[in-house]
Chain A
Amino acid sequence: MLNPTPRSPSGLTPSNPNRRLGPLAVFHLDLPLLFGLLLLCGLGLLVLYSASGENLPQVERQLVRLGMAFAAMLLLAQINPATLRRWTPAVFGLGLIMLTAVLVAGEIGKGAQRWLNLGVFRFQPSELVKLAVPMMVAWYLAERPLPPNARTLVVTALIIAVPALMIAKQPDLGTALLVASAGIFALFLAGIRWRVILGALIAAGAALPVVWYLMHDYQRQRVLTFLNPESDPLGSGYHIIQSKIAIGSGGIYGKGWLNGTQSQLDFLPERHTDFIFAVLSEEFGLAGALVLLAVNLFIIYRGLYIAARAQDTYSRLLAGALTLVFFVYLFVNTGMVTGLLPVVGVPLPLVSYGGTSLVTLLAGFGILMSIHTHRKLLA
């Protein structure tokens, strides 16, 4: 800002004058954020090697996915936020069409209808929607006076609720939660009035019995199990009991890499996917868990910093919402694994084995980087 230079008209050419970015500036990458993400992914691969039972091919597959995800990040970092903003309604519309398609003709896997077979590859439209919803909310709110008035709120609520409910219908409660929270964060950051928030919370509390009624049996079971895991130690409570044993027995310094008995002897279910945090906590103890949380905290800090420095409402809201969604991933997953929250299928971001969420998450960080590196230098 102290050193204004003329900006290139194209969104794809290097425009940031910040020399601290050095040679990477040409790729529109934010070095601190990239550093945090690489650190987290590296830590994740280390834990995954142990959690997979020293299954190197599995680690290699994850590495390939990470490569693809980082490529997606790099790609999105190149897109000028202004361009992204123009495309936003189209992306959102596409997301809704694909969600509809999934409900009509999706493939069923593990009892839920989530996949769309595009011939070449299978695709989970809900992942696209995870980005499309905060984009759309940001897009909509950016053009309206803030804090939002009643009409704006209703429209925003629809933008959030329609895709979230469609995903919940698949049923995929975890993703619906993430999608809804992404939109809600954008709304929150836009300055929605506290009394509206309070009113919404009261309404939500009142709606709980209705939600309970609408829930699937397995979802209700998860909630009940969360409230009292010991009631069903061999059934659905098994996950949470074993996870707590793994974490608790890890102690302060852990049992050592590859030496977690809960993980290595198969007592811990889903240990390389949703419950990988328990593997980390068992083998590296409280110390390892704190390191992981610190890295995550740094990423969140950097994300919020980028949002705060963003120059227009769209960028700000989008960057803030994406960062907070990342936190929701982190908190819902670790909360679930430590028994603070009910079991909801949310992976530990960038650590859990699995491709779809990786691409979405890193694409989101690509958007953050783009926002940060495409800043116009206004006085």
Chain B
Amino acid sequence: MAQAQFKDHIREGQLFISRAIFAAVLVLLLLGGLVGRLVYLQVVSHEHFTTLSRDNRVKVVPVPPTRGQIYDRNGLLLAGNRPAYSLEITPEQVKDLDATLAQLAQVVDISEDDLERFHKLRRRQRRFESIPVRLQLTAEEAAAFAVERHRFPGVDIAARLIRHYPLGAEAAHVLGYVGRISRADLERIDQSQYAGTTHIGKLGIEKTYEEQLHGRVGLERVEVNALGRTVRVLESQPPIPGRDLRLNLDLRLQEAALEAFGDRSGALVAMDPRDGSVLAMVSKPGFDPNLFVEGISVKAYQALQHDIDKPLYNRALRGQYPPGSTVKPFIGLGGLETGVTGARSVTYCPGYYQLPNHEHKYRDWKKTGHGPMNLDASITQSCDVYFYQLAHEMGVDRLSTFLAQFGFGEPTGVDLTGELPGLLPSREWKRARKRQPWYPGETLIMGIGQGYFLTTPMQLAAATAAFANGGAFHSPRVGAELLDKETGLHEAMMADSRSIPIKDAGNWKTVSEAMLHVVEGARGTARIIRSDAYHIAGKTGTAQVFSVAQEEEYDEATVAERLRDHALFIGYAPAEAPRIAVAVVVENGGHGGSVAAPIVKRIMDIYLQEQP
């Protein structure tokens, strides 16, 4: 206290008190500011922060619905959901990841690709989420792992449903397939409905009925912690599974047709003329749709793409072939209905036809000629000259207009995507597309289904069905009904229909009798398929792939296989009350009568004579 005498203790005390009071006031002010802040946060902005807090902890997790299954008309499973097993690792539960992977590789095959995908996913996912290290384990591999499982904490087998097509290629072109949702898919779908769904219908029935098969997404509101791990489920709204779809397709016919085609390529469509049901739709060769479900490898895809037989090409819907002589019954009917010809009118066939004042000879397939021909004989024997004459007399406009009534030149409206419209030539079409006038010669070759005229097998079948049932054109329907598993409700799908105007039912009868004679007549071009059990009406056709020069002859032996004519046949049965109408194209098959017609016969035999 040496310096104490220099200090004024009382003044120091007072100074201290005043400073302490100042400090106390400052403390109160600052705490007041703090309280103000708390009031702002907890009272004024309470709502805002409550929302933020809820957004933090409550997450809505989509629960994808199970996709509906697809059956044929007899209840055979065509597309189902199969559990697929994958080996998954939860990194959080694994002490030494590399060692575990190495040991796992001794139990199941793990490729470099698997490892690469695993490590890629691992960087993106949270440590407590399981990451697949191997997809699609075989049953043996799953069993092998199950035995060793105790050695691998944090490694598990996970099962999920993947789309499976048990019949492989048999109905591939009808069913189409599902595949992983692509960016393009995302742009056209309701994304909220697909939250949590990985696959979507890409083609065929799977695409057409995507909405019905997919179902409706379910939701779970879950409470999550800061790491995103679910703590508990707050609310759950289960998904509505997709509806099952029963098709009109009869798999027996499908299989029989494929078998009957043998090694040949081509397409066949069978319909029930009474309602437009598609009983069979074959495009050969096919492909295994299962390849596409989990993403096809580049190599496998290229193999399919570069296959000379084009297995990915849907010939039934997109194959555009000249109808050849199969169009003759329709043109014959047109001649009768427009009054251009009569059932008894006779044209002499010398083996060729010449337009007045023209040199050019339009040849009949029979060099020596058929002699005098009426409509019945010319359909039965497929005389070309009669139809050159008839087409010439009708003219392109009436021809085109009449044929359009049977759906030629426009999509049939079948419930499948990607259908092509074929081509029904007309004066207007030629002016618009070719910027050329219509030449009379073109009318002639149109009369025998050649030239610009193109049809798809689907169009031919629909037209045949419309003729068979006496004038009701039904848009072909592959899907029959939707079944709701939960409610048990069925929803049948009706075909769009329109009527073809009829002038005289007798004209239709004339043509149908002629078609019966094609099979049952002594000189019918398809007499080899005559059946004792029921009557088949039909028409053969041959479509040129390769055009033969004026003075040359077409020699089957010298023309390369792939340039040979396509064989066609359309038909329906029983002729008096048709229940099935079929159109078939056998590529490079040669003659319609010998190659195409027997396939149709097989189908009809099974459909009409065998119980499912």
Contact B57 A250 (CB under 8 A): no
CB under 8 Å from chain A, chain B span 10-53: 11-13, 15-17, 19-20, 23-24, 27, 30-31, 33-35, 37-39, 41-43, 45-46, 48-50, 52-53
Contact A266 B227 (CB under 8 A): yes
Looking across the interface, which residue of chain A has its beta carbon closest to that of B28? A297
Selected interface stretch from B116-124, B218-226, B322-330:
B218-226
Give A335 to B33 CA distance when docked, in angstroms. Answer: 9
**A328 to chain B: closest CB distance in Å?**
10
Contact B42 A320 (CB under 8 A): no
Q: Which of B15, B19, B37, B223 has the most CB of A within 10 A?
A: B19
Q: Which of B8, B48, B227 touches A248 (beta carbons < 8 Å)?
A: B48
Contact B12 A249 (CB under 8 A): no
Selected interface stretch from A2-10, A58-66, A198-206, A300-308:
A300-308
Contact A244 B41 (CB under 8 A): yes
Contact A261 B56 (CB under 8 A): yes
Contact B6 A189 (CB under 8 A): no
Contact B48 A265 (CB under 8 A): no
Contact A248 B16 (CB under 8 A): no
Contact B31 A297 (CB under 8 A): yes
Contact A338 B34 (CB under 8 A): yes
Looking across the interface, which residue of chain B has its beta carbon closest to that of A335? B34
CB under 8 Å from chain A, chain B span 550-591: none
CB under 8 Å from chain A, chain B span 495-550: none
Give A375 to B377 CA distance when docked, in angstroms. Answer: 139
Q: Which of A190, A290, A316, A331 touches B30 (beta carbons < 8 Å)?
A: A331
Give A262 to B58 CA distance when docked, in angstroms. Answer: 11
Q: Is A40 an interface residue (CB 8 A)?
A: no
Contact B49 A334 (CB under 8 A): no
**B56 to chain A: closest CB distance in Å?**
5
Residues of B close to A351: CB separation below 8 A: none
Contact A147 B226 (CB under 8 A): no
Per-residue contact bits, chain A 126-149, to B (CB 8 Å; 1 contact, 0 not): 000000000000000001111100
Q: Is B489 an interface residue (CB 8 A)?
A: no
Residues of A close to B12: CB separation below 8 A: 146, 191, 313
Given contacts A144-B3, A146-B7, A266-B226, contact A247 B20 (CB under 8 A): no
Give A370 to B3 CA distance when docked, in angstroms. Answer: 25
Residues of B close to A316: CB separation below 8 A: 13, 16
Residues of B close to A171: CB separation below 8 A: none
Given contacts A189-B23, A246-B53, A308-B17, contact A286 B42 (CB under 8 A): yes
Contact B20 A189 (CB under 8 A): yes
CB under 8 Å from chain B, chain A span 48-64: none
Q: Interface residue count for A (Cβ, 8 Å)?
A: 49
Residues of B close to A335: CB separation below 8 A: 34, 37
Contact B41 A248 (CB under 8 A): yes
CB under 8 Å from chain B, chain A span 82-111: none
Q: Is B493 an interface residue (CB 8 A)?
A: no
Contact B27 A248 (CB under 8 A): no
Give A261 to B49 CA distance when docked, in angstroms. Answer: 12
Looking across the interface, which residue of chain A has its beta carbon closest to that of B45? A248
Q: Which of B1, B16, B31, B224 touches A293 (beta carbons < 8 Å)?
A: B31
Give A248 to B49 CA distance when docked, in angstroms. Answer: 5
**A257 to chain B: closest CB distance in Å?**
17
Q: Which of B23, B57, B226, B227 touches A185 (beta carbons < 8 Å)?
A: B23
Give A34 to B3 CA distance when docked, in angstroms. Answer: 36
Looking across the interface, which residue of chain A has its beta carbon closest to that of B9? A313
Q: Which of B3, B11, B17, B46 touches A143 (beta carbons < 8 Å)?
A: B3
Q: Is A251 an interface residue (CB 8 A)?
A: yes
Contact B56 A267 (CB under 8 A): yes
**A16 to chain B: closest CB distance in Å?**
20
Q: Is A285 an interface residue (CB 8 A)?
A: yes
**A143 to chain B: closest CB distance in Å?**
5
Q: Is A211 an interface residue (CB 8 A)?
A: no
**A293 to chain B: closest CB distance in Å?**
6
Residues of A close to B4: CB separation below 8 A: 143
Contact B39 A261 (CB under 8 A): no
Give A123 to B475 CA distance when docked, in angstroms. Answer: 89
Q: Is A327 an interface residue (CB 8 A)?
A: yes
Q: Which of A190, A245, A297, A324 touches B49 (beta carbons < 8 Å)?
A: A245
Q: Which of B23, B35, B39 touches A304 (beta carbons < 8 Å)?
A: B23
Q: Is A281 an interface residue (CB 8 A)?
A: yes
Give A185 to B4 CA distance when docked, in angstroms. Answer: 22
Residues of B close to A154: CB separation below 8 A: none
Looking across the interface, which residue of chain B has its beta carbon closest to that of A313? B12
Q: List 10 A-B contacts (CB under 8 A).
A: A145-B3, A146-B7, A189-B19, A252-B42, A281-B41, A281-B42, A285-B42, A290-B38, A300-B27, A304-B20
Chain A positions near chain B (C-beta within 8 angstroms): 143-147, 185, 188-191, 242, 244-252, 261-262, 265-267, 281, 285-286, 289-290, 293, 297, 300-301, 304, 307-308, 313, 316-317, 320, 324, 327, 331, 334-335, 338-340
The 8 closest A-B pairs by CB, nearest first: A248-B49, A249-B53, A266-B226, A191-B15, A265-B225, A248-B41, A249-B49, A286-B42
